[in-house]
Amino acid sequence: MDNQQHVGEYRPFFYRIARHVVEIRGATDIDIARCLPSFEPFAAQPGEEDDSLIAVRLTIEPAPEIESAKLLSDISVIWEERFCFEETDDSYITTIQAKEGDRPWKMVSSKDFRESVIYAQADELYSTFKCNWLIMIAFGQAGLLRDTLLIHASVVERAGKGYAFLGKSGTGKSTHSRLWTEHIDGTKLLNDDNPAIRVYDDGQVSIYGTPWSGKTPCYRQVEVQLGAIIRLEQAPFNRLDWKQGKEALVALLPSGSAIRWNPTLFASMLQILEEILTRVPVGVLQCLPDEEAARLCFAEVSSIRS
């Protein structure tokens, strides 16, 4: 990434997310704590055994002109933002532009997303989620090569286990989590948008809180065993069916975080999903947004023996 040269000083800040160390090097004129308040519960100092998962350099300067970049995706309506992904021989470029005429934000990343530079706009640094969102992209992709999956889900925890609710936007993931916290004693919200799942060599599958929780502030440095994954589908009745094999993979795949055009990252995501579904029960809950649905789901996952 030769185009990422900058003359100046940076201060390192370290965060631990899903047991990975994330290093964010902020230019000295940037208040990282003010820029990334949701990261505060994850602040850490790396130990000798730690290896940084990603390193992000945050700077305020004009983004470089990058020639011969190939457009990979140009999709709208992400937090009312417009973003695109481009590729060069050695980098990926993520660009966000909120409104026509605004100056864009750019992130230039290595092909494995282990190192990135974010070119921020000073007048938006503390008033938007753009920086936070770009770091989420980098973490989500870099984690795939380290048995870690950032997944779009709402998660509750109870008695040392986490239960992840998946589904299309508007399906009622947050509502179902709320119904659990209201009607199932001992339940707490773990994350309401982008938790991390990590698969370990000894068979353990853990789910973690992250700095990314959508519209619900819930930034918890918590790790619990992943007890079950439930995909929600709206219906005029409540019924839960457990899935296996291809049906389970189909239930999980839409919620994964890999960029589809990178075959290495996408293959890593598939491998992680396959490991998850062999170790964690996967179900589809056709449901109403009511207490009965939450109690049915709780009874079903409680009947599972580790």
Residue 47 lies in a domain: yes
Q: What is the pLDDT of residue 8?
A: 62
Query: If you ran DSSP here, which 8-state letter would residue 236 be given?
Result: S
Q: Does 122 share its domain with 207? A: no
Q: Does 222 share its domain with 282? A: yes
Residue 3 has pLDDT above 50, yes or no: no
pLDDT (tens digit per residue) in 283-297: 999 999 999 999 999
Q: Does 154 share its domain with 235? A: yes
Residue 2 lies in a domain: no
Residue 4 lies in a domain: no
Q: Does 153 share its domain with 185? A: yes
Going 173 to 176 to 178 to 181, the CA torsion angle's sign is: negative
Q: Does 137 share its domain with 167? A: no
CATH code, domain with 177:
3.90.228.20
Residue 107 has pLDDT above 70, yes or no: yes
User: Last residue of some domain: 146, 175, 207?
Assistant: 146
Residue 69 has pLDDT above 70, yes or no: yes
What's the domain count of the chain?
2
Residues with Cβ within 8 Å of 278's Cβ and at least 6 positions away in sequence, in order, are none
What proportions of the chain, in percent to the nearest 5, are helix, strand and coil?
Answer: 25, 35, 40
Q: Does 142 share its domain with 176? A: no
For 10-23, what is the mean pLDDT? 93
Q: Does 17 share its domain with 72? A: yes
Residues with Cβ within 8 Å of 302's Cβ and at least 6 positions away in sequence, in order, are none
Q: Does 21 share its domain with 73? A: yes
Q: Does 215 share its domain with 268? A: yes
Residue 103 lies in a domain: yes
Residue 80 has pLDDT above 70, yes or no: no
Q: Does 160 share its domain with 298? A: yes
Q: Does 36 share its domain with 119? A: yes
Could you list the beta-strand ranges (E) of the chain.
10-17, 20-27, 52-60, 70-78, 81-87, 91-97, 105-110, 115-120, 148-150, 154-158, 161-166, 188-191, 196-199, 205-208, 223-234, 239-243, 282-287
What pTM, to 2 d.p., does this model score? 0.92
pLDDT (tens digit per residue) in 41-63: 999 988 777 778 888 988 888 78
Q: Does 141 share its domain with 152? A: no
User: Last residue of some domain: 111, 146, 181?
Assistant: 146
- Domain with 53 in it: 10-146
User: Last residue of some domain: 97, 125, 146?
Assistant: 146
